[in-house]
Amino acid sequence: MTLDCDVAVVGAGPAGSRTARNLARAGLRVRLLEEHRAVGVPSHCSGLISPRTLREAEIGEEAIIHRLAGAFVHTEAGSEVALGGGDTRAVAIDRVRWDETLCDQAQAAGAELVRARVTGVEREDHRVRLHTQCDGREASFTARLVVGGDGSHSRVARTLGLAGPPEKVYCLGVEGKLRPARDARTGVPRGDDFVHVFVGQDLAPGWFGWIIPTGEGRVRAGIGCRPGHKPIACYRRLTDRFPGLFADIEPCRFYGGTIPLGFAPRSYGDNVLLVGDAAGQVKPFSGGGIYTGLVAARHAAAAALSAFAADDLSARALSRYERDWKREIGRELRRSLRLRRVGLALGDAHVERVVRALSASGGLQSLAVRHGDIDYPSRVLLRLARSAPALALLASVTLRRPGAALNLLRAHLPFAV
Ligand SMILES: Cc1cc2nc3c(=O)[nH]c(=O)nc-3n(C[C@H](O)[C@H](O)[C@H](O)COP(=O)(O)OP(=O)(O)OC[C@H]3O[C@@H](n4cnc5c(N)ncnc54)[C@H](O)[C@@H]3O)c2cc1C
């Protein structure tokens, strides 16, 4: 069977649905393919986003299920610092409804949602042929452009020979209910508008653990780690290490998930674009990819539309996409990646000192509060580095030579704190 369309978007996640909407709105024949029966199900996400993301998604405040004002950062050794307070810094969303809403927007603009798994894509005379499978039935059709919005294990990228993001973090997520009277039992002073973040290389090698209150006595918790470690084992260690925070969480659902880190070497090719996790458009500090995926989707659709207008879907014509999305978010993602590497290479003893320094200094904390932004974390981290005299050079060196920055930090940190 051959059913032609202008654009086949693979994956009805945020990045795919948004690209599909913008292209359909401009009058292209768009087919949006999703392998799961229900869009957004099962969710593999904690659903924490910035208020800015709501604006980018053009979704109103009705999507918010809980507002968060700050974060406690806990080290393995037991230090803790509270950052934030006051204004809403982030919001928790119902991730399933979020994906449904974005997909509804795409369909309302004219995109056709097709429930099928794409099993492969091949190039064919200035077009691509997509092979699909649904309820055991196989089919294929052609499109002039395929957009891979199919997540961190992108089949579109793999079958068209595009390399994926260089690094991956494996996560275990937990949705849970809080048993009552937890504050009374633990004595830890905290409201339910603060996230908890847990750092430590033995606890969460290469990543971190988290608890996100989502209102009405519910939480989303989890942990990530680099390959070679088991997220479930890390989660057990985390709950043992912080019984006061985890003992009262009654798990209702466990899920796994993969976070890609670092950009795919190329997010475009002849007749193909990659968006969202498939292209590694993810924040390297938090793994958050909803905002960045939506931004990239806006650029993907704009580049595709100008390629269609010029009747040229070659890699050269589509290369504008990579230039445009990198111009908007590439610098932040690159900087955060470097700062993350410096942080990891420092080791727990130094991270411990940084957390202690932060908790002892009202000035540093208020700087963090003033400039904290979950979509652009490098800005506040660099400000913090610049504000500590012995780290004055660190910020600029980090941007150019992470190795040198690390040596500098090792040499000066004991005096800085
Ligand atoms: C544990 C965890 C917690 C996270 N928490 C947050 C958070 O709090 N905030 C945040 O911003 N980000 C978070 N993220 C990251 C966020 O979930 C992703 O960055 C985001 O979902 C990427 O969107 P996407 O559209 O690129 O891909 P996805 O959301 O992964 O969507 C891809 C879609 O493609 C479909 N698909 C895949 N292959 C095929 C195929 N062959 N054929 C048809 N359909 C296919 C999938 O079913 C899916 O619907 C988290 C990730 C993990 C793992």
The domain segmentation of the chain, as residue ranges, is 5-44+96-166+264-318, 67-88+167-260, 335-416
**Interval between CA 185 and ligand 1 midpoint (Å):** 36
Looking from the CA of residue 275, the nearest atom of ligand 1 is 26
What pLDDT score does 408 carry?
58
Collapsing DSSP states into helix, strand and coil, what is residue 196?
strand
Give the separation between CA 219 and CA 213, rounded to whole angstroms. Answer: 4
Ligand 1 pocket mutation pick from 277, 292, 375 by most atoms within 8 angstroms of CB: 277
For ligand 1, atom 45, the nearest C-alpha belongs to 11
Closest among 335, 362, 359, 291 to 15, alpha carbons compared: 291
> Apex CA 324: angle with CA 374 and CA 396, to 5°?
55
Torsions phi, psi of 114, nearest 5?
-120, 125
Looking from the CA of residue 15, the nearest atom of ligand 1 is 25
Per DSSP, the residues of 89-134 read: -EEEE-HHHHHHHHHHHHHHTTPEEEE-EEEEEEEETTEEEEEEEE
Query: Class of 67-88+167-260 per CATH?
Result: alpha beta
User: In this predicted model, what pLDDT tens digit does every residue of 12-32 receive, in sequence order?
Assistant: 999 999 999 999 999 999 999
Cα R_g (the chain), whole angstroms: 22
**Interval between CA 344 and ligand 1 midpoint (Å):** 25
Q: Which DSSP letter does residue 326 get?
A: I
User: In this predicted model, what pLDDT tens digit does every residue of 302-332 receive, in sequence order?
Assistant: 999 999 999 999 999 999 999 999 999 999 9
Output the ligand 1 site: residues, CB below 6 A. 10-16, 33-36, 44-49, 117-118, 149-151, 155, 171, 173, 222, 257-259, 276-278, 282, 287-291, 293
Say if residues 20 and 111 touch (Cβ distance below 8 Å).
yes
Determine how β-strand 268-269 pairs with β-strand 117-124: unpaired
Report CA-CA distances (Å) from 247 to 166, 179, 181, 241: 36, 9, 12, 10
Looking from the CA of residue 11, the nearest atom of ligand 1 is 34
pTM: 0.92
For ligand 1, atom 18, the nearest C-alpha belongs to 289
CATH superfamily of this structure's domain 5-44+96-166+264-318: FAD/NAD(P)-binding domain (3.50.50.60)
What pLDDT score does 191 carry?
63
Give the separation between CA 143 and CA 4, rounded to whole angstroms. Answer: 6
First-to-last CA distance in the chain?
68
Ligand 1 pocket mutation pick from 282, 290, 332, 375 by most atoms within 8 angstroms of CB: 290
Closest among 18, 10, 13 to 296, alpha carbons compared: 18
Q: Which residue has the tokens 């996100």?
A: 212
Looking from the CA of residue 17, the nearest atom of ligand 1 is 25
- What's the token pair of residue 281? 């458009």
Element (DSSP H or E) covering residue 219: strand 218-225
**Interval between CA 412 and ligand 1 midpoint (Å):** 40
Q: Which DSSP letter does residue 166 get?
A: S
Q: Which DSSP letter does residue 291 get?
A: H
For ligand 1, atom 34, the nearest C-alpha belongs to 11
For ligand 1, atom 12, the nearest C-alpha belongs to 288
For ligand 1, atom 30, the nearest C-alpha belongs to 151
310 class by beta-carbon count within 10 Å (0-12 exposed, 13-18 middle, 19+ buried): exposed
Amino acid at 398: T
Cβ of 278: how many Cβ atoms within 10 Å? 33
384 class by beta-carbon count within 10 Å (0-12 exposed, 13-18 middle, 19+ buried): buried
What pLDDT score does 400 carry?
57
Cis peptide before 284 (omega within 30 of 0): no
Which stretches of the chain score pLDDT less than 70?
1-3, 181-191, 388-417
